[in-house]
Amino acid sequence: IATTTTDSDGKFEFTGVVPNDPEQPYTVEQTNNDGFDDVNDSDGTENGTTLNQIKVDVSGGDDTDSFFVDELASSSAPSGAPSVSSKPSSFILGSISGTVLEDVDNNDSGDEPLSGVTVTLLDEDGAIVSTTTTENDGTYVFYDLPVGTYTVVETNLPNYVDVTDADGQILGGSNDDLDSTIEDVTLDAGENKTAQDFVDEELRTISGEVLEDTNDDGEGDSPIPGATLALVAPNGTVIATTTTD
């Protein structure tokens, strides 16, 4: 009487069908797609008698339960248990992580975590791979990294500098890593490289006054503007000079 094809959801429909004599139902026949066979115990409703055929009675109303179930033919179905294809090891991703700590007692080792510090990851060509900031505990992590050689760069917080003999003491980096850059961080497939650490210290301020003793009592009475002062390192080197205002 009519033919149709299933839509993308596998559904089919015949409309405008005249109600049949209850003793003479309609038959819906399915033509299998290439490479498919019928599933014996699933095709058709309880009225079905033949594979790929369903007897349909619409004498009392619509029929919406006409289902066909197919499966790949034996020649098309996989033989035996499917094997898991091996994934190239170079595509197993890894990570690089570390901490940014503050040296609060000037012993060149990290004491307290520094949060909110920007850390940038560069690839071997110097291109930015990712940027992150340290957590409250001073930690940072770069996830989902392929095999490669990376550089980790820290951007110091305002008024902070690097502890040069502590920065770059890492696992897997070069021995000359100093300051805010950790170079030559090599990452193998699936490796989680840790201990890429930075240690910073906060700059300090030295201040005071130059006063004149005007009444010879050993106490400063009046400020002396324009007086020159020098800051001298323990080895005798003049680090900075300033004048009073």
The percentage of residues in the chain with a pLDDT greater than 70, rounded to a whole number, is 75
Mean pLDDT of 139-159: 94
pLDDT band at 38; cut points 50, 70, 90: low
Do 68 and 136 lie in one domain? The reply is no
Do 93 and 157 lie in one domain? The reply is yes
pLDDT at 167: 39
Assess if residue 150 is contained within a domain: yes
Do 170 and 99 lie in one domain? The reply is yes
Assess if residue 84 is contained within a domain: no
Assess if residue 102 is contained within a domain: yes
Domain end position, chosen among 79, 114, 130 = 79
* Strand runs labelled E in the chain: 26-29, 36-38, 53-56, 70-72, 94-102, 112-113, 118-122, 128-133, 139-145, 148-155, 160-162, 181-187, 192-193, 198-202, 211-212, 222-223, 228-232, 238-243
Do 96 and 162 lie in one domain? The reply is yes
Do 66 and 111 lie in one domain? The reply is no
Residue located via tokens 């770069």:
142
Beta-carbon contacts of 168 under 8 Å, excluding residues fewer than 6 positions away, are 176, 177, 178, 179, 181, 182
Do 194 and 216 lie in one domain? The reply is no
pLDDT in tens, 159-204: 888 885 443 333 333 434 446 899 999 999 999 999 999 998 888 7
Do 114 and 65 lie in one domain? The reply is no
Do 27 and 100 lie in one domain? The reply is no
Question: What is the rounded CA–CA span in Å between residue 31 and residue 39?
Answer: 13
CA distances in angstroms from 85 to 82, 88, 198, listed in the order given: 9, 9, 41
Question: What is the rounded CA–CA span in Å between residue 172 and residue 169?
Answer: 9
Count of domains in the chain? 3
Do 190 and 226 lie in one domain? The reply is no
Question: What is the rounded CA–CA span in Å between residue 64 and residue 41?
Answer: 19
Number of H helices, E strands in the chain: 0, 18
What is the average pLDDT value for the chain, to the nearest integer? 78
Do 42 and 139 lie in one domain? The reply is no
Assess if residue 16 is contained within a domain: yes
Assess if residue 106 is contained within a domain: yes
Amino acid identity at 89? S
Question: What is the rounded CA–CA span in Å between residue 218 and residue 210?
Answer: 13
Domain end position, chosen among 57, 79, 101 = 79
Range of the domain at 33: 1-79
Amino acid identity at 105? D
At 22, phi and psi to the nearest 5?
-50, -25
pLDDT in tens, 56-85: 776 777 777 766 666 665 554 455 555 555
CATH of the domain at 128: 2.60.40.10
Do 104 and 58 lie in one domain? The reply is no
Do 133 and 170 lie in one domain? The reply is yes
CA distances in angstroms from 162 to 5, 22, 35, 209, 238, listed in the order given: 72, 92, 69, 30, 21
Domain end position, chosen among 79, 101, 117 = 79
Higher pLDDT, 170 or 226: 226
pLDDT of 116 above 60:
yes
161-191: buried (b, 16+ CB within 10 Å) or exposed (e) per residue?
ebbeebbbbbebbeeebbebbbbebebeeeb
